[in-house]
Amino acid sequence: MKFFANKTLLVLLVLNLVLLLFWSIVFYQVTNIRAEYKSISIPLAEENSKESYVIKVNRELRESETERLILDKQIVNKGDEASFLEQVEFLSAQAGAQLKVLAFEERGGVLRLNVISRGSFRDVYYFMSLLETFPFRVTIEKGLISKEISDNGITKWEGNFSVILRNYYSDKK
């Protein structure tokens, strides 16, 4: 029986060694997989954060589209100066005054406009007040309203205005 007990002990010893070897191999494989997981997961986490940022910015751009369109209408871009001048002419027509453009130029990153407005005092004054309440950032640098009396006794008023448009986007700013 002694031999049989030794054989059982020997089998248990070999079995323990095989299990220990198996456990070591599994531990080694898990350690390698963990290192590989870390090397893959860090760049994936960075990409995930970038994607989250892009999604957030995209959502904010979509949500603010109407506000950006409103703001875009209040800025005159380089190359779109004629639309601003047309709007000033429209204001003059709304006021019932005749408009003559003396100068229209870009200087120092702003648009400068010199105009003469003719009509009744009410029309010239109304045109000036429309310019002041224009949705653009307009500064009336100089405004001069004068009266002309013609030979027939008809009184005509003339307004000479130097206007600066500050919300003008050019390459020089």
Q: What is the pLDDT of residues 108-135, one digit of tens each?
A: 777 888 999 999 999 999 999 888 888 7
DSSP-derived letter for residue 145 is E
Tell me: do 44 and 88 sit in the same domain: no
Tell me: do 105 and 163 sit in the same domain: yes
Tell me: do 85 and 142 sit in the same domain: yes
Q: What are the backbone dihedrals phi and psi of residue 101, each rounded to the nearest 5 degrees, phi first?
A: -90, 120
Note whether residue 71 is domain-resident. Answer: no
Domain count, the chain: 2
Please tell me whether the overall predicted TM-score, pTM, comes out greater than 0.75 for this model. no
Tell me: do 93 and 137 sit in the same domain: yes
pLDDT class of 162 with cuts at 50, 70, 90:
very high
The domain that holds 140 is classified in CATH as 3.30.70.60
Mean pLDDT of 141-170: 83
Note whether residue 13 is domain-resident. Answer: yes
Tell me: do 80 and 165 sit in the same domain: yes
**pLDDT above 70: percentage of residues in the chain:** 89
Tell me: do 19 and 58 sit in the same domain: yes
What's the pLDDT at 170?
Answer: 60
What's the pLDDT at 3?
Answer: 56
Note whether residue 123 is domain-resident. Answer: yes
Q: Which of 63, 97, 115 is the endpoint of a domain?
A: 63
User: 86-119 b/e with 16+ CB inside 10 Å = b?
Assistant: eebeebbeebebbbeeeebeeeeebbbbbbbbbb
Note whether residue 152 is domain-resident. Answer: yes
CA distance 145 to 154: 17
Note whether residue 70 is domain-resident. Answer: no
Tell me: do 99 and 160 sit in the same domain: yes
Tell me: do 133 and 102 sit in the same domain: yes
Tell me: do 161 and 123 sit in the same domain: yes
Q: Which two structure tokens, joined as six digits, stand for 109?
A: 């990153």
Tell me: do 82 and 161 sit in the same domain: yes
Tell me: do 80 and 109 sit in the same domain: yes
Note whether residue 163 is domain-resident. Answer: yes
Output the CA–CA distances (angstroms, integers) from residue 50 to 36, 38, 124, in the order listed: 22, 18, 57
Domain that holds residue 36: 2-63
What's the pLDDT at 173?
Answer: 47
Output the CA–CA distances (angstroms, integers) from residue 1 to 7, 10, 13, 117, in the order listed: 10, 14, 18, 128
Tell me: do 163 and 83 sit in the same domain: yes
Give the count of beta carbons closer than 10 Å to the beta carbon of residue 160: 16
pLDDT in tens, 55-109: 999 998 888 888 877 766 666 667 777 887 888 899 899 999 999 999 988 887 7
Note whether residue 143 is domain-resident. Answer: yes
CA distance 77 to 169: 5
**Sign of the alpha-carbon dihedral angle for 31, 35, 36, 37:** positive
Mean pLDDT for all residues in the chain: 84
